[in-house]
Structure 1
């Protein structure tokens, strides 16, 4: 289910304009949604959505070169370089990437920047729904998406993958089903966070 009904009109208009001026590509809809949110200062994405200025410009040129974009929001990205798990997240996404197309690197960088938010990952990224996030991960990082066979919340799942790579198993129970925090990890994300 999409949550576009509760989306501010300015974001909707920007999304429609981006899609009307977009090049073909599997990631265009996701990128347009995240860009529309970022330009209207929704979500947590920092300056250039977590990309370098050069990568951001390359993404716009590749997918939205015909679009007339508003002025970029004044957001900081100073904290991004201080994110201690950033190199491990980059390695995780690189290992599970569909291929070495630079758009996968862009999506990975945006996902990493979105991981610092306190809401559901799809909201922090500025996507319209959790279904969009799941589809974007399946499209770009299929090996990772396939591992989430029990539909764990994506942020928790991504960090669980990091812990498992390091041999850290923090869950107090031998299986998720027996864990007291099961509802926190597997509860529905269909509705926006409060």
Structure 2
């Protein structure tokens, strides 16, 4: 996990930032278990057919990202964060995404040859069909299709493709007021 962020100017700010980044590591085992169980219900609700092993891995990602379901936020806000974590898990564990980034796998994607390293958004595009197929297996609800697809498609879009005027917060507010599903901007951009 790469935690390279812009460093604050003074030492006090640096120390405060470091404590925030690593705060989840200092949580008691009981609190970690509580947070894990707090996330289990919503994840199982959003992805009712997720295999037990993958569920446990995604719960580990939630803990690593210091994320728990936020009752003060709309359901779609939580759903898009869980979906981003599930998509990242799928990319790394159900596709040749990592091999493409390393330049392994060759042109045919067979895994044995050596090819050129692929930029991450290109690797996302190439593995997108496999990720989408598994997402649909894990989340079979027809009423979730639109939100799920929006979140998935946003992970494939480069930030520069969104345009200078595109502000996901404006869209979120607009959709929240209309009580509609919101387009998603890959808020955690997990890789």
> Please, what TM-score do these two structures have when normalized by structure 1?
0.30
Larger radius of gyration: 2
Greater relative contact order (CA < 8 Å, ≥ 6 in sequence): 1
When you count helix as a share of all residues, which structure comes out higher?
2
> Please, what TM-score do these two structures have when normalized by structure 2?
0.30
